[in-house]
A and B are shown apart, each in its own frame.
Chain A
Amino acid sequence: MHDRGGWPTDARIDRTEHDLADWEILMDAIVGTLGQRSVMNVDELRRGIESMPPAEYEAASYYGRWLFAVETVLAEKSILAPGELDARVEP
């Protein structure tokens, strides 16, 4: 999903706030650390977000998109094996 801004819509903008969940704060910290250690930069993050299939992009939350991008880019760099995160999620 690339160049999403400026699309016409009649839908109301959802301005509701929510408290950040622990995983969202962790996601922010992970992206910050990956940047500081020159593993992954913010432009790679944005490009990773843009590579999301449109339906998945629209359904995902802000940090859900970050998670998708980090997993995508780290897999490209062979830092994560394909499916490695899923395999480590406890049932």
Chain B
Amino acid sequence: MRIADRRHDGHHRTPGYLKGRHGTIARVHETFTNPETRAYGDDGQPRVRLYLVEFDQRELWPDRPESSDHLYADVFEHWLEPAS
């Protein structure tokens, strides 16, 4: 899948360096209250599913030396898109 390359004015937990990048789902977490609305005093309902996403470091930092490392990040479902 791919992280949505979407502008979002206001608090959100999706790092800019992941937006538009491809990764794979490594784990399906529980659902959690939504930090994007909780940040403004809301109760964060409805709850949203969180995923652990695995990225190749080369996908994120193409200018860096070759590396077989991976980066793992928790990303909410509404930031995930199909890969193509």
Which residues in A have some Cβ–Cβ distance to B below 8 Å?
2-3, 5-6, 41, 43-44, 46-47, 50, 77
Interface size, chain B (Cβ < 8 Å): 13
Interface status of B65 (Cβ within 8 A of chain A): no
Stretch in contact with the other chain, from B22-30, B32-40, B46-54, B74-82: B32-40
Which residues in B have some Cβ–Cβ distance to A below 8 Å?
10-11, 15-17, 35-36, 38-41, 44, 60
Measured between beta carbons, the chain A residues less than 8 angstroms from B36 are 43
Measured CB to CB, the closest approach of chain A to B14, in angstroms, equals 9
Return the contact of B39 from the options A3, A5, A43, A77 (Cβ within 8 A). A43
Return the contact of B11 from the options A5, A43, A77 (Cβ within 8 A). A43
The CA of A2 and the CA of B16, in the complex, are separated in Å by: 10
